[in-house]
Chain A
């Protein structure tokens, strides 16, 4: 009798998990092709452009060559050969290829970059780049200074913390301070279990330059972060739940207070907040099923999609109502597994986890 009850409970739980995961999984989702204008790949990027950070004068820094340390046995062996790099692309000179940025010597042999962010000093024009680095032993946040003339990065500080369990993205809020999102707890193959069972082991850490504190805890499925134009709100993406969570930021201690959630209807990855229009640009995966197939075999194409969330609400609550646009879609042949999108003066860059980087002119 008890055995039957237990079996039934497990079956119901499994059914509920399947139901919750299935919309994001998109078994039947297709990658429809549509463009906002002429699009092309940006040389020489072919081994990923997972995250992009964009300065206010149109310079994009792109992390490339990510080797995700999740169940390597399942993934295409080619991914382990990837070299971690940072590229620079100038929207003011889009015909030019992306240029590799020289890394600090300390990181040359230990660089596996994921999320990127930047901080620019308004008066001196100094630029700091913040990069999530999956080092051999730990996840670190590398804080680096960019040298314009030499196109090189020098290491200012390598931040480590026991609170960094599995860092995905980074959001700089000062030359020394940042938020880091943990997308889970386990590394390796145990991560699949974490996702399937829905364990809430993700979190967001705030580092004020000296100490780290947990500002969001016991969450699952956390991914990427962006900051509102006025610096008072933080946007956090949840991939399988297809949501953006909006938090108000406490000025005193950087704590986050949950405000509202926006349903985006597709599995979203990285988020970019356009400071001019306040639109949110997202790289998205219309089929997590095809994404996982692509991970095991890079030659199997996976669809890509860009979503733009356009706020319609008043000043006090900009995302109280909104429109969902999709300016770009691909079947995977131009770009597979789009993870990020940024916008600058009627142009767009679309990044991918392990594939190309795409540039589009926006004419529509």
Chain B
């Protein structure tokens, strides 16, 4: 009798987990092709363009070559260990040019597996500071780098690591020394698979003030990408497995965050870009996490891609109170597989992927 009860409870739990997981998993989700205008790949990027940050002048910095092998190597394609971590720069204002590799500081040359990226522009000096999540062999780091445009190189400003960095995904720069960072899991190894399966909530969202790091959101799971609203009052956070874009009200200074709204976007969202000119949110998304997982275990298998734009229609103090969801770009994986990010600059779109190429599109419709 007791055994039957236990078995029944276990079964009920598994069914519930399967149901919750299947919604985001998208086992039947197809990648329909649709374009906002003419689209093409940007040479020479072929081994990923996971995240993209753009300056106000349209200079895009792309993190490339993330080696997922440190994240359960038996589950991912062996070729990931051959990927070389790089930062590329692409100029929206000179879009016919290829993306150009930026040279890294010596410390990072064989020690670079970049993930989320953000930048700060000093309005007076024009200096560009890059904040890059780096999955070093010895641990999780946020590298703060200064961009030298003449030599197209990055110099190391500061390297930050912390015991709260369990499995970093994205970073949001606050000022020269401080930032917010998201953990997408607790384990970095194969044990991480247990976390969504069992619904474990062991992730933190961190504020590093330059000296001290602290959790500002605890007991979560799957914190993915983070961006800031135009007026700095709201922080956007994506939750891929729940297909959500969360909006938090932010207290500047203390960096306390309070959940204000949750938008169900209808598919697994990855990185979020906050368009400073329109207030729109642009999301690189995965119509099928099932196909993305297969693509990561064999890079030759295509994974569908989709870009979603959330247009705010609400008042100034609550812009996403009402909104519209657009999908200006979709692909079956032939042009770009596994789209993880999308940035918009003056009617042009740059779409990045976890382990594949980059697409550049003109937006005509």
Contact = CB atoms under 8 A, between A and B. Distances in A.
| Interface residue tally on B, bucketed by range | 20 to 34
A264 B32 CA distance: 9
B28 A325 contact: no
B36 interface: yes
A32 B327 contact: yes
Interface residues of A, number: 28
Interface in A38-65: 38
Nearest to A19: B22
B75 interface: no
Contacts of B33: 323-326
A28 B32 contact: no
A30 B265 contact: yes
Contacts of A349: none
Nearest to B30: A265
B136 interface: no
Interface string B23-53: 1000111111111110000000000000000
Contacts of B27: 23
Contacts of B325: 30-33, 331
A331 B365 CA distance: 16
A32 B308 contact: yes
A231 to B, nearest CB: 29
Nearest to A327: B34
Nearest to B15: A15
B266 A29 contact: yes
A310 to B, nearest CB: 9
A33 B310 CA distance: 10
B330 A326 contact: yes
Contact of A364 (B28, B31, B32, B36): B36
Given A33-B327, A35-B365, A326-B330, A265 B34 contact: no
B332 interface: yes
B139 interface: no
Interface in B295-340: 308, 324-328, 330, 332
A311 to B, nearest CB: 14
B332 A324 contact: yes
Contact of A28 (B31, B243, B332): B243
A325 B364 contact: no
B29 A28 contact: no
Contacts of B23: 27-28
B324 A33 contact: yes
Nearest to A23: B28
Contacts of B32: 265, 307, 324-326
Contacts, number: 70
A184 interface: no
B301 to A, nearest CB: 16
A329 B327 contact: yes
B264 interface: yes
A30 B266 contact: yes
A330 to B, nearest CB: 10
Contacts of A29: 266
A227 B33 CA distance: 24
B365 to A, nearest CB: 5
Given A242-B28, A331-B325, A32 B36 contact: no
B326 A364 contact: no
B265 A364 contact: no
Contacts of B328: 34
Given A37-B365, A324-B332, A326-B34, A32 B266 contact: yes
B348 to A, nearest CB: 14
Contact of B30 (A30, A36, A266): A266
Contact of A33 (B30, B264, B266, B326): B326
Nearest to A364: B365
Interface string B339-365: 000000000000000000000000011
A363 interface: yes
Nearest to B264: A28
Contacts of B266: 28-30, 32
A323 B364 contact: no
Contacts of B330: 34, 326
A236 to B, nearest CB: 19
Given A325-B32, A326-B33, A364 B324 contact: no
Contacts of B36: 34, 364
Contact of B28 (A31, A33, A265): A265
Nearest to A30: B266
Given A28-B243, A364-B37, A265 B29 contact: yes
B29 A34 contact: no
13 contacts: A28-B264, A28-B266, A30-B267, A31-B325, A32-B266, A32-B308, A32-B325, A34-B328, A34-B330, A35-B365, A36-B365, A325-B32, A331-B324
Given A37-B365, A323-B33, 19 more contacts: A23-B28, A29-B266, A30-B267, A30-B325, A32-B266, A32-B327, A33-B324, A34-B328, A35-B365, A36-B34, A38-B365, A265-B29, A307-B32, A324-B31, A324-B332, A325-B32, A326-B34, A364-B35, A364-B365
Which 9 residue pairs across A and B have the least CB separation, nearest first?
Answer: A265-B30, A30-B266, A32-B327, A326-B32, A23-B28, A325-B33, A33-B326, A364-B365, A326-B34
